[in-house]
Amino acid sequence: MARTRPHTARNRAAVGFLLPFCVLFLTTFVAPICYAVHQSLFRVERKGALGLGGETEVFAGLSNYTHALEDSQFLAGFGRVLLFGVVQVPVMILLATVLALLLEAASARGVVFFRTAFFLPYGVPGVIASILWGFLYVPGISPIVEMLDGAGLDVDFLSDGTLLWSIANIVTWEFTGYNMLILISQLKAVPDELYEAARIDGANAWQVAVRIKLPLIRPALVLTTVFSIIGTLQLFSEPLVLKPLTGNIDTGYTPNVHAYNEAFGANNYHVAAAEAVLLAVVACVLSFGFMRLVGRRGKVGDE
């Protein structure tokens, strides 16, 4: 019996430590998901033209899901973010990796300054970043547009064709430094002995980077890529903030914007819930699909 006492005490301590997390996890994560799934299975029926005769919620089966999947604007939004992700995520991760390797190279100078400078945009909230860039894109205000105009280049950053890449630029500016920092922290965990051994074997800086550093930060690369894929699917504040500046951002520019407008513009909470669930499913499929692809499933852990 004496043997179990420390066990119970330890268990109690463990429960005590886990409880706050579990409570928050259940109430702010699991419960809303369950609520959204529940909402997505119902619809409203109203009496009278103005609904003044009252309303009833009835079970709708999967009709909200078929409704969402038949909405060409919603699907176009998916197409747009996928195109965005295919281009922007590799560019950003590559950029972050190059910066991380440069800053961690033995010959790097001014490391602290550059690390802070590159990371700083992440400290700027996405909405503010979009406003800042918005000013740099709008003709009439933007010094960049004016300069290009002076050089004889007629560039419209907010046109139908360029807009997505203007947004990609904002996102890259915001998150490259953040991803770089994750990669740097993993680089710092590489034991010095490996570098010493490599040097003794006659490896140059390039070989050290490609043969030792990159393979060893692979888990961090996978992690940052997965985060970026999820972030891409959740693209929201940038298009919403830029919307007043151009007619080219429609109600379904990204799936998230579409769900938002469905919920708070059209007050179709049930359809919006279905769209949110679909979005989450796609995010899961892509994230886990990517992890399976790189054969590192489970290393990164659940989202």
Partner 1 sequence: MNPVGTSRRSLLAASAATAATGLAVAGCGSGDDATVARRKPGQSIRMTFWAWVPGIDKAVDLWNRKNPEVQVDLEKVSPHNSAQYAKMHSALKAGNPPDLAQVEYMNIPEFLLERGLVELGEYGAGAQKDKFVGWQWEQVVYDGGVYAVPQASGPMAMFHRADLYEKWGVEPPATWDEYEATARTIRKEGAYIESFPATMGPWFAGLAWQAGAEWFRTEGDTWKIAIDSEPTRRVADFWEGLVRGKLVKTVPVMQSPWYSAIQSGEVVSWLSASWGDALITGNAAKTKGKWRVAPLPQWKRGAGASANWGGSTTALFRGARYPQDAMDFAVWLNTDPESVDLLIAGGYGWPAAKKGFEGSRLDRPSDFFDGQKYNDVFAASDKAVDTSWKWGPTTVAMINHITDALNDAINSKGSFTDAMRKVQQQVISDMRDKGLKVEAA
Does 234 interact with partner 1 (rule: CB under 8 A)? Answer: no
Instruction: Using the rule CB under 8 A, give the single segment among 84-92, 136-144, 219-227, 276-284 that binds partner 1.
Output: 136-144
Out of 6, 20, 244, 301, the residue judged to bind partner 1 by CB under 8 A: 244
Q: Which stretch binds partner 1 (CB under 8 A): 1-9, 216-224, 266-274, 285-293?
A: 266-274
Does position 266 interact with partner 1 (CB under 8 A)? The reply is: yes
For the four alpha carbons of 83, 88, 91 and 97, in that order, the dihedral sign comes to negative
| Cβ-count burial 39-74 (b if 16+ within 10 Å, e if not) | bbbbbeeeeeeeeeeeeeeeebeebbbebbeebeeb
3-state secondary structure of 59: strand
Cα angle 259, 262, 266 (rounded to 5 degrees) comes to 165
Q: Which of 34/94 has CB closer to partner 1?
A: 34
Which residue in 19, 141, 210, 284 binds partner 1 (CB under 8 A)?
141
Judged by CB under 8 A, does residue 117 bind partner 1? Answer: no
Q: Does 43 bind partner 1 (CB under 8 A)?
A: yes
Helix (H, G, I), strand (E, B) or coil at 81: helix
The residue (of 265 and 289) whose beta carbon lies closer to partner 1 is: 265
Q: 238: Cβ–Cβ under 8 A, 6 or more apart, which residues?
A: 126, 129, 130, 167, 170, 171
**Does 265 engage in binding with partner 1 (CB under 8 A)?**
yes
Compute the least distance from the CB of residue 58 to partner 1, in Å: 9
Between 45 and 196, name the residue whose CB sits nearer to partner 1: 45
- CB-based contacts of 68, cutoff 8 Å, min separation 6: 74, 271, 274, 275, 278
Question: CA nearest 231: which of 84, 29, 74, 35?
Answer: 84
Nearer to partner 1, 1 or 52 (CB): 52
- Site of tokens 């994230």: 287
Cβ atoms of 176 and 96 within 8 Å: the answer is yes
Interface residue with partner 1 among 248, 286, 288, 296 (CB under 8 A) is 248
Range in contact with partner 1 (rule: CB under 8 A) among 9-17, 216-224, 239-247, 281-289:
239-247
Region 70-89 residues binding partner 1, contact defined as CB under 8 A: 73
Q: How far is the CB of 240 from partner 1 (least distance, A)?
A: 6
Whole-angstrom distance, CA of residue 98 vs CA of residue 95: 5
Asked whether position 162 contacts partner 1 by CB under 8 A, the answer is no
When asked if residue 30 is in the footprint of partner 1 (CB under 8 A), the reply is: no
End-to-end Cα spacing for the chain: 40
Nearer to partner 1, 62 or 108 (CB): 62
Candidate residues 81, 223, 245, 259; the one interacting with partner 1 per rule CB under 8 A = 245
Answer for which of 166, 169, 224, 246 binds partner 1 (CB under 8 A) is 246
Contacts of 233 (CB under 8 A, 6+ apart): 81, 85, 255, 256, 279, 282, 283, 286
Query: Does 243 participate in binding partner 1 (rule CB under 8 A)?
Result: yes
Q: Which residues contact partner 1 (rule: CB under 8 A)?
A: 43-52, 54-55, 67, 73, 127-128, 130-131, 134-135, 138-141, 160, 237, 240-241, 243-248, 250-252, 261, 264-269, 271
